[in-house]
């Protein structure tokens, strides 16, 4: 017994030392063995067009470094579906190449599929642009679009060059209707496209979105564009803490007032779950030929908020918004069953986040206005690193004790009579079957609840009123025009 205690103590000390060394050393970026086995872990899939070719004389951006340890927890480094133990399988018909279900209130990741696969964001990158705008510009600050802003490749809101708009008005156009003209106007106001993209990338790095590199402010595909379902979950989690963002994505219809004889501009929300899915809080849609369909949305039920991000999805055989609704139902069922999380939405500073000296100017200050303070302080710094050291030490201790416990349990199991082990196995299987049945009942309850709500909301004919969005080839709307002149296509 004394020798066993000494071995346990040595193991604990070794684990603590390893954890401290790992955190104290500079962040190491490499391609871990697990990542080497995963498709799209370093770069998105090959493009289908020439939109990502660099300008003449410019080199292609190198792949972004892959963290040695998966951000959000070790389980999130997997390539396939990541589920809680004994959980039901996700709903059928989900076409997304990767997705993440998160708890917006706790930061837990409830379930995921290939969460760190590198994908293209399409218009979901506008959530990152919106965060930069919220940080640097006041809602009542005036923006005057240029001719180039107003003539961007659409989808467009229809802003007029030379007219005055407030940041709040343009924010609704950016997030509700995904206006490329608005995105370019914001980029111009922030100092130009290159400066705005630089600000977006520095903010992403400060948040710890290590898979993300914006190439354009609007989501149009460009050289080096990259993100992941996990990163967009982190960015959306942070964005929903900002009142200006949360209010805009939750607005179903909005009007930019008439200006100087120009007609008012009606703006309708492209997210078709708004007003249809019970408790829906808003989100963002996106599409390019290279990214395919991307989606983020959140909902609240019984006082609890969940969010889903979907990447590289298709509209067949089920529309993406319906797939998202099914995943939200699944997430609420997991929450009701108190399923253990598979990871965390973890804010952390990136080793690549060092800003370039003199390049991070403040637009509000440059325009003579007082800069708006961020709604929330960056969650890192000296204190954050100290806490990280402590957490790493605790985790190391937990692994050490867990290893010793596993050895003791294995020894006891080996000593059990065969009949007793067989009885325990029958009991375990019975518990799993009961848990699966209970989870299925929960999921069916959430689906019936949503179906009842939808029946009450939808007008005769089964379609929500207002602006209609359609898919490529047979729908008309922001991301899906038959002539493919979408807001995200070059």
Q: Supply 142's token pair.
A: 């005036």
Report the alpha-carbon distance of residue 128 to residue 232 in Å, rounded.
9
Q: Which residues are annotated as a binding site for substrate?
A: 284
| Cβ 226 vs Cβ 211: under 8 Å | yes
From CA 216, how far away is CA 123, in angstroms rounded? 10
Residue list for the binding site: 284
> How far apart are the C-alpha atoms of 40 and 26, rounded to whole Å?
26
In a 10 Å sphere around its CB, with 0-12 CB exposed, 13-18 middle and 19+ buried, how is residue 309 labelled? buried
42, 51, 98, 126: which is the annotated catalytic residue? 126
Tokens 């390539």, located at residue: 79
User: Is 123 among the residues known to form the active site?
Assistant: yes
Q: What is the DSSP code string of 122-153?
A: GGGGHHHHHHHHHHHS-TT-EE---HHHHTSS
Annotated active-site residue 126? The verdict is yes
Q: Of 51, 98, 123, 228, which residue is the catalytic one? A: 123
Longest dimension (CA), the chain: 89
Parallel, antiparallel, or unpaired for β 292-301 and 280-288?
A: antiparallel
- Residue identified by tokens 């007032």 is 257
**Choice among 42, 98, 178, 350 that is catalytic:** 178
Closest to 129 measured CA to CA, from 176, 181, 189, 187: 187
Q: Beta-carbon neighbour count of residue 11 at 10 Å?
A: 17
Active-site residue set: 123, 126, 178
């Amino acid at each position: 017994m004394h020798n066993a205690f000494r071995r346990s103590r040595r193991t604990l000390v070794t684990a603590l030392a390893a954890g401290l060394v790992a955190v104290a050393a500079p962040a190491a970026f490499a391609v871990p063995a697990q990542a080497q086995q995963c498709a799209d872990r370093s770069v998105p899939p090959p493009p289908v067009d020439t939109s990502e070719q660099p300008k003449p004389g410019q080199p292609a951006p190198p792949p972004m470094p892959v963290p040695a340890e998966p951000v959000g927890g070790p389980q999130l480094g997997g390539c396939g579906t990541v589920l809680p133990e004994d959980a039901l399988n996700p709903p059928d018909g989900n076409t997304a190449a990767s997705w993440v279900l998160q708890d917006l209130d706790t930061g837990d990741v409830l379930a995921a599929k290939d969460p760190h696969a590198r994908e293209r964001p399409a218009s979901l990158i506008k959530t990152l642009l919106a965060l930069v705008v919220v940080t640097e510009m006041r809602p009542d600050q005036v923006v005057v679009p240029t001719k180039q802003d107003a003539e961007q490749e659409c989808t467009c809101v229809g802003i007029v060059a030379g007219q005055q708009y407030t940041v709040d008005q343009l924010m609704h156009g950016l997030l509700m209707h995904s206006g490329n003209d608005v995105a370019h106007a914001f980029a111009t106001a922030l100092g130009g496209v290159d400066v705005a993209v630089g600000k977006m990338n520095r903010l992403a790095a400060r948040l710890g979105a290590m898979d993300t590199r914006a190439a354009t402010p609007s989501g149009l595909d460009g050289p080096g564009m990259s993100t992941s379902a996990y990163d967009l979950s982190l960015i959306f989690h942070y964005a929903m803490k900002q009142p200006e963002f949360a209010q805009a994505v939750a607005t179903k219809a909005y009007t930019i007032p008439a200006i100087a004889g120009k007609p008012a501009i009606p703006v309708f929300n492209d997210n078709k779950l708004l007003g249809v899915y019970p408790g829906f809080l808003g989100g963002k849609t996106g599409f390019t030929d290279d990214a395919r369909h991307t989606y983020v949305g959140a909902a609240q039920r019984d006082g609890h908020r969940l969010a889903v991000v979907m990447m590289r999805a298709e509209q067949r055989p089920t529309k993406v918004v319906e797939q998202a609704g099914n995943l939200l139902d699944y997430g609420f069922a997991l929450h009701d069953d108190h399923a253990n999380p598979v990871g965390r939405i973890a804010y952390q500073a990136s080793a690549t986040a060092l800003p370039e000296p003199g390049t991070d100017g403040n637009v509000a200050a440059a325009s003579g206005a007082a800069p708006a303070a961020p709604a929330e302080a960056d969650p890192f710094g000296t204190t954050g690193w100290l806490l990280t050291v402590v957490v790493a030490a605790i985790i190391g201790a937990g692994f050490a004790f867990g290893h010793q416990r596993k050895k003791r349990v294995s020894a006891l199991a080996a000593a059990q009579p065969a009949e007793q082990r067989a009885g325990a196995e029958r009991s375990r299987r019975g518990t799993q079957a009961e848990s699966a049945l209970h989870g299925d009942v929960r999921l069916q309850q959430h689906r019936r609840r949503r179906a009842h709500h939808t029946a009450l909301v939808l007008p005769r004919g089964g379609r929500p009123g207002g602006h209609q969005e359609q898919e490529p080839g047979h729908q008309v709307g922001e991301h899906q025009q038959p002539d493919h002149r979408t807001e995200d296509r070059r």
